[in-house]
């Protein structure tokens, strides 16, 4: 029996001062909420305390009682009725402790947690600087577990073949092999095979394979059955699949697949790590349905089981790793890193989405003794998965199976990635790029258009470079969204603007580079507002459309300009290169002004040159070309001025309306209209209209975007909004927030009461149903 144990905890920021002034909280909980930016990175560092009382009924006599913490950051001492029963020194893995011998039945019992959230601890990832905030608190769920005396304590599943798994059980108590019955159950709830014992290999003929496009899940149900009575039961979802990194790429179920991924932190605005199931799952859905990636790296630590579960369901592949960032500590520190490796593998190995164990401290120096131990630990526990470790060092000592390298070589003009042969010493080992871009070009949502475009094109360049190289298994650019960091890093406001989304998961322009590579997300994002005042000398230059359409049809004030196709010349390898719009005149000189095709092309060249160089600095060849047009075609100087104003500068003229139609298989899949906006309205998108009060509170995220009258982002809208809500929900963070780059976000949280709820955003009501 598993009992949610998340409500009615007392919390104090000073454990030594006791709980007299403690406040009532619900788990997940952050030790200290912080502002969106300009956060004090020491505010959440403390020796805090949590306490909860409960009554153990007489029915539990003779049974065993455990408490499980899914995540407590970072060093937790657990007490039951005043007796210390456990110490756990990793903020990123779960731990379970037995309370049976300390429980008083039919009486009040108290569980207390002394939690050290300080970054001075001698455990990973601490010991030196860290480029992300580590927060603190019991930030994942807690459960009370009541079992019989003889139990199944753990279940381990290895994918040892395409249609084969090997299962090992750990039991505690007097459990005979014949007492254990194992069933494999398909997605329809039908038992498809059955096995006896604590260790077995299951082969399922014609098994429905798990894949990125068809993530089919089975369930292993293992039971202790005596005299036809079930005395214990554990269930694990899994998938039949093989995952193998080879020298020439990654193979899923024997088929080569390029990993087009991204890095994810587990943090959120205001509350850091402390978000419930729905928000964890929502991030996976954003990765799949909005960014269109097929893989994610859980940088730089194991993440919520809720997030991994949703990746299992969606077919997202995961590279997960032990906690750490560059620093390697003393022998006590290293011992904890090995423990972390064991806990990570044992707790997550049943997930089919996980394809690679990271057994090095991210970006650390070589330490063969330590990494021999972590690598061997992973292989001893899980023979079915390969290992890797993220480094920024070329020709690094490779003890793992896959060389993972943070390639920050791209600067905007050079090659997107380095060649594998330049990075690795052992050319026979598989290779992937674990990070790129990120800090090389921080980009805020409110940066100017040129900056935001450069950010997007850098991502396009590295993705193209990955596809161009057969021996690069995949790429995990840095990173999914912006995040708070320490004062040693980030912008002046303590934020790393490295994401393709902002902290509220609103997209920047670069997000469309990722989305456009998906076959399942109709995408047509124009890089420019098409406002001449956004560009030096009013020259639009090249405009990019990030799309997965076959081509773009461009219209100016309703008149067809021409068709534009993906730029295979600039981006020859990626599935859907950006479309470069480099001609805003197109066929209009022919269709609107009656010039022949040859003459129209010559006039167009001259007009584009004037836009680029200016009339006073026009190169000689264009002066000669224009003179030839005047001499032989009767073009007058005033004609040139008129055509330039009509087709290029539009300075002082009526605002131009541009329409971009994305065409795929002969159908318009998406259309964008660009014209200087004069009216702004808000698009309010809640993650869900249904909130579920179940094991703990629920949260909905409301992403808010300012759009112009053509439903295009108003990226320079920075106005504040006032937020109000009904009494049965509460706002996380401030109730007045300002737009940042035309977007913002709000979180609302349930308070244990069901019924209808609402949030008022500048007078616009969004309703929720709390179940």
Catalytic residue annotation: 363, 435
Cβ within 8 Å of residue 524, ≥6 positions away: 545, 546, 547, 549, 552, 660, 662, 669, 670, 671, 672
Q: What is the edge-to-edge ordering of all strands in the sheet holding 255-256?
A: 243-246, 249-252, 255-256
Query: Contact at 8 Å (CB) between 438 and 545?
Result: no
Helix, coil or strand: residue 659:
strand
Which one-letter DSSP state was computed for residue 441? S
Instruction: Take residue 27 and report the two structure tokens written for it.
Output: 């788990």
* Rounded distance between C-alpha atoms, residue 732 and residue 726, angstroms: 13
Nearest CA among 435, 432, 414, 545 for reference residue 496 = 435
* Rounded distance between C-alpha atoms, residue 360 and residue 404, angstroms: 10
Instruction: Take residue 525 and report the two structure tokens written for it.
Output: 């994002």
3-state helix, strand, coil in the chain (%, to 5): 20, 35, 45
Burial of 696 (0-12, 13-18, 19+ CB in 10 A): buried
Instruction: Take residue 405 and report the two structure tokens written for it.
Output: 């390298």
Count other Cβ atoms within 10 Å, centred on residue 37: 17
The residue with tokens 């320079």 is 716
Query: Contact at 8 Å (CB) between 169 and 154?
Result: yes
Strand runs labelled E in 36-94: 47-55, 64-69, 72-73, 75-80, 83-88
Q: What is the edge-to-edge ordering of all strands in the sheet holding 543-547?
A: 524-526, 543-547, 579-581
The dihedral region occupied by 62, where left means phi > 0, alpha psi between -120 and 50, and beta the remainder, is left
Interhelix angle 331-348/368-381, rounded to 10 degrees, is 20
Query: Contact at 8 Å (CB) between 353 and 311?
Result: yes
**CA-CA distances (angstroms) from residue 156 to 168, 194, 204, 306, 659?**
5, 17, 18, 18, 56
* Rounded distance between C-alpha atoms, residue 106 and residue 99, angstroms: 15
């Amino acid at each position: 029996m598993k009992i949610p144990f998340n409500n009615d905890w007392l919390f104090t920021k000073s454990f030594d001062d006791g709980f007299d002034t403690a406040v009532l909280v619900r788990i997940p909980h952050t030790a200290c909420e912080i502002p969106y930016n300009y956060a004090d990175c020491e505010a959440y560092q403390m020796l805090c305390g949590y306490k909860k009382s409960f009554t153990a009924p007489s029915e539990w006599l003779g049974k065993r009682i455990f408490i499980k913490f899914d995540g407590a950051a970072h060093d937790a001492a657990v007490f039951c009725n005043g007796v210390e029963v456990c110490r756990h020194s990793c903020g990123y893995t779960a731990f379970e402790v037995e309370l049976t011998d300390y429980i008083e039945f039919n009486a009040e019992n108290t569980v207390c947690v002394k939690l050290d959230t300080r970054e001075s601890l001698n455990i990973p990832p601490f010991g030196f600087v860290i480029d992300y905030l580590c927060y603190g608190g019991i930030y994942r769920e807690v459960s009370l577990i009541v079992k019989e005396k003889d139990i199944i304590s753990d279940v381990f599943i290895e994918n040892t073949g395409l249609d084969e798994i090997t299962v090992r059980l750990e039991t505690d108590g007097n459990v005979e092999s014949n007492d254990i019955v194992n069933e494999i159950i398909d997605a329809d709830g039908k038992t498809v095979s059955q096995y006896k014992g604590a260790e077995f290999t299951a082969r399922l003929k014609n098994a429905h394979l798990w894949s990125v496009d068809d993530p089919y899940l089975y369930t292993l149900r293992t039971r202790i059955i005596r005299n036809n009575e079930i005395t214990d039961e554990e269930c694990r979802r899994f998938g039949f699949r093989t995952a193998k990194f080879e020298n020439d790429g990654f193979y899923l179920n024997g088929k080569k697949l390029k990993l087009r991924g991204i890095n994810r932190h587990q943090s959120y605005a205001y509350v850091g790590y402390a978000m419930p199931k729905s928000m964890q799952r929502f991030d996976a859905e954003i990765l799949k349905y909005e960014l269109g990636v097929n893989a994610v790296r859980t940088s730089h630590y194991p993440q919520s089981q809720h997030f991994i579960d949703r990746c299992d369901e969606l077919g997202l592949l995961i590279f997960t790793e032990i906690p750490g960032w560059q620093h390697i500590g003393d022998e006590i520190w290293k011992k904890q890193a090995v423990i972390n490796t064991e806990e990570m593998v044992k707790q997550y190995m049943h997930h089919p989405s996980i394809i690679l164990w990271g057994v090095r401290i991210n970006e650390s120096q070589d330490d063969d003794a330590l990494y021999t131990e972590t690598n061997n630990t992973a292989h001893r526990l899980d023979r079915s998965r390969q290992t890797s470790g993220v480094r920024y060092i070329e020709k690094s000592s490779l003890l793992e199976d896959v060389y993972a390298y943070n390639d920050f070589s791209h600067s905007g003009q050079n090659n997107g990635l380095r060649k594998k042969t330049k990075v690795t010493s052992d050319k026979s080992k598989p290779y992937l790029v674990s990070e790129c871009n990120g800090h090389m070009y921080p980009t805020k949502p409110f940066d100017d258009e040129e900056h935001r475009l450069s950010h997007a094109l850098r991502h396009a360049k590295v993705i193209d470079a990955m596809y161009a190289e057969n021996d690069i298994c995949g790429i995990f650019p840095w990173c999914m969204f912006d995040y708070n960091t320490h004062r040693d890093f980030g912008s002046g406001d303590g934020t790393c603007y490295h994401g393709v989304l902002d902290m509220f998961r609103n997209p920047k322009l670069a997000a469309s580079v990722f989305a456009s590579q998906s076959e399942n997300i109709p995408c047509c994002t124009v890089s420019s507002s098409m406002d001449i005042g956004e560009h030096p000398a009013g020259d639009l230059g090249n405009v990019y459309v990030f799309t997965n359409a076959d081509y773009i049809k461009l219209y100016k004030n309703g008149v067809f300009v021409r068709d534009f196709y993906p730029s295979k010349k600039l981006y020859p390898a990626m599935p859907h290169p950006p479309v470069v719009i480099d001609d805003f005149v197109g066929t209009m000189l022919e269709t609107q002004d009656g010039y022949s095709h040859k003459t129209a092309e010559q006039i167009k060249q001259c007009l584009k040159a004037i836009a680029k160089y200016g009339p006073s600095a026009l190169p000689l060849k264009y002066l000669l070309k224009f003179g030839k047009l005047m001499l032989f075609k009767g073009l007058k100087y005033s004609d040139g001025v008129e055509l330039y104003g009509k087709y290029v500068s539009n300075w002082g003229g009526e605002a131009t309306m541009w329409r971009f139609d994305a065409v795929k298989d002969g159908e318009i899949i998406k259309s964008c209209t660009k014209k200087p906006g004069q009216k702004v309205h808000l698009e309010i998108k809640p993650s869900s209209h249904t909130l579920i009060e179940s094991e703990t509170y629920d949260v909905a995220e409301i992403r808010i975007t300012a759009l112009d009258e053509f439903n295009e982002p108003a990226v320079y809208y920075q106005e504040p909004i006032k937020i109000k809500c009904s009494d049965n929900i509460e706002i996380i963070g401030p109730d007045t927030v300002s737009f940042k780059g035309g977007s913002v976000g709000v979180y609302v949280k349930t308070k244990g009461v069901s019924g209808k709820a609402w949030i008022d955003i500048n007078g616009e009501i969004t309703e929720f149903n709390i179940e």
